[in-house]
Structure 1
């Protein structure tokens, strides 16, 4: 069980890093002239999407760490 939790933590931490890099890439390539149908820059929409994805994966990672600590403490 512990090994499975550690692997899940590693995978979710990787997803955090992936979302962070994609968000930074969108920030670095921001072009205010490329607007979507609502008048919002496309790169800004991608930055927001990646920010929420990063926060989601961080929360999942923290929950997995808590579960790992509870399982390890019970043994």
Structure 2
């Protein structure tokens, strides 16, 4: 059981890192578009992608915390 939970935790950690990188890339694209055009209104699609990626990161982090709590409960 513990090995399965550790595997799930590793997958969730990978998803957290992936969504974090995806959000940072969207943020950098938004910043670049804003700097090139001088208007903040053109980057709304990138801002939505950034928000979506960061929300996914928070969701995966919460799931990872639950898995760690279960591992600690099982280990007792």
| Length-normalised TM-score, structure 1 | 0.85
State how many pairs are aligned.
Answer: 69
Structure 1 alignment gaps of length 5 or more: none
1:48 to 48, 51, 55: 51
Instruction: Answer 1 or 2: which has greater helix percent.
Output: 2
1:17-56 equivalence runs, <5 A? 17-30=17-30, 31-32=33-34, 35=42, 41-56=44-59
The Cα RMSD (Å) is: 1.5
Structure 2 alignment gaps of length 5 or more: none
| 1:57 matched to 2:43 | no
| 1:14 matched to 2:17 | no
Q: CA deviation at 1:41?
A: 1.0
Q: CA deviation at 1:24?
A: 0.2
Cα distance in structure 2, aligned partners of 1:20 and 1:51 = 6
Q: CA deviation at 1:54?
A: 0.4
SS at match of 1:42: helix
Q: CA deviation at 1:27?
A: 0.6
